[in-house]
Amino acid sequence: MAVRRPLATAAVAVLAVLSGTGCSVTVPDPGYTPPPPLPALEQLRRAPLTDAAAFRTADAVLAFVTADRNIVCALTSARGPHLNLPYESNNFGDSANRKLDTVPVAHCELAVYPEPQAGDVRDNCGGTGLGYLGGAALLTPGRATYGECRSGVTAMESAFGPQGTRDGVIASLPVLPEGGNLERNGLRCSAYDSGVACGNVTGGVAFIVSRDHYEVISGGGKKPSTSPPEAPKTP
């Protein structure tokens, strides 16, 4: 005849077995609500910096691609509208431009990307308003923008878009892994949430870009301009 042990005795026996085996039991709390994720600028500020040595080019620019080869970025410098980019032809080094102030910037290009919303169009493209396309983002110490005036595709789209060549300078750039965080002259870029976030954490400006979404943050991080989630587009 079996002898039924009291429930309290049975519970003690179970705890003794779990203690002896090193196991633990986690009981979910139905009333617990996880805290919301930190704002992008705060995440940039708190993230530990990655060793920049592997990402530094000959002229001290930091350049990288994301693991999915959809975004290329450079933490670099600008003289007026001329950016010192390892993956784009440019006039940064021309003697005529050396009289212009040199400022730190962060620049990213995408292979697949959303189009800019009407409120984020910052240039009338020579008075026509045509040719302001997505796929490029720029950060200066005081401003972040998404989109640019151009005809055709970005260098990143040419290399890794649907018809990309998969070669050239961009193909040789190192990968910044998810969570990696680089800084140059007060600006930071991080591989963030399957995209890239670049910001001036003290100035409160940033952009976040991915294949189907972008945000432009200004006003001390309080005024984001956000693209609606939709299918990725290319020109």
- Are 66 and 175 contacting, i.e. CB atoms less than 8 angstroms apart? yes
Q: What is the pLDDT of residue 18?
A: 47
Q: What is the pLDDT of residue 1?
A: 46
Where residue 30 falls among pLDDT bands split at 50, 70, 90? confident
From residue 226, how far is each of 64, 121, 154, 165, 215 by CA, in Å?
24, 13, 21, 31, 4
What mean pLDDT is reported for the chain? 85
Closest C-alpha among 235, 227, 232, 228 to residue 121: 227
Q: What is the pLDDT of residue 4?
A: 47
Q: What is the mean pLDDT of residues 180-195?
A: 94
Q: Write out pLDDT tens, residues 218-235.
A: 876 555 666 654 445 544
Q: Worst-scoring range by mean pLDDT, 42-56, 130-144, 183-197, 208-222?
A: 208-222
Q: What is the pLDDT of residue 21?
A: 58
Longest dimension (CA), the chain: 102
Structure token digits, residue 194: 């399957």
pLDDT for 7 beyond 90: no
Closest C-alpha among 160, 173, 148, 144 to residue 44: 144
Where residue 11 falls among pLDDT bands split at 50, 70, 90? very low
Distance CA 145, CA 37 (A): 24
